[in-house]
Amino acid sequence: MFKQLLTISVSTLLVGNLAATELVYTPVNPSFGGSPLNGSFLLNKANSQNDNQSATSSKDFVTRFKESLERNIINTITRGVADGEITDGVYDTGDFRVEVVSTGNGVMLTITNLLSGEVTVIEMPTYGV
């Protein structure tokens, strides 16, 4: 009993002499108020952990020109159909064949990818034409 009382009294004396301070958060990232000197270190750490690879495909000028020309032709056909200026028929753009057919209440476009054989059908209603 005496031993327990002595332990409690010594513990009380020691606790009375302890002092505590506030916990102060100091950010590391310079974007959130940390030191600007940490910026390059954090960027290098992030880049070293980055597993993503950019999908860079170097296409030659002829390929890019061909793709651009196809996009322009398809855009022209689409605008013409929407404005009612394109007549029924088949339009070849190189890799795609676009068939335009008038229906009772609009226009039906059948786009065929000549390379893969994929077919897409789009029905566009016409208003006020």
Give 50-104 pLDDT, tens digit per residue. 888 777 778 888 888 888 888 887 788 778 777 777 778 888 877 888 888 888 7
DSSP string, 36-54: GGGHHHHHHHHHHH-----
pLDDT of residue 2: 66
pLDDT of residue 44: 92
Query: Using the 8-state DSSP alphabet, how is residue 79 labeled?
Result: H
Q: Quickly state the pLDDT bin for 127 (edges 50, 70, 90).
A: low
For tokens 């990818």, what's the residue?
113
Q: Where are the domains of the chain?
A: 2-49, 61-125
- The alpha carbon of 75 is separated from its chain's Cα centroid by a whole number of angstroms, namely 24
Contact 95, 113 (CB under 8 A): yes
Q: How far apart are CA 44 and CA 27, in angstroms?
A: 18
Prediction pTM value = 0.45
CA distances to 64, 65, 67 from 60, in Å: 6, 9, 11
pLDDT of residue 96: 84
pLDDT of residue 18: 61
Q: Express each pLDDT in 20-50 by its tens digit.
A: 788 889 899 888 888 999 899 999 999 999 8
pLDDT of residue 17: 58
pLDDT of residue 128: 60
Higher pLDDT residue, 73 or 116? 116
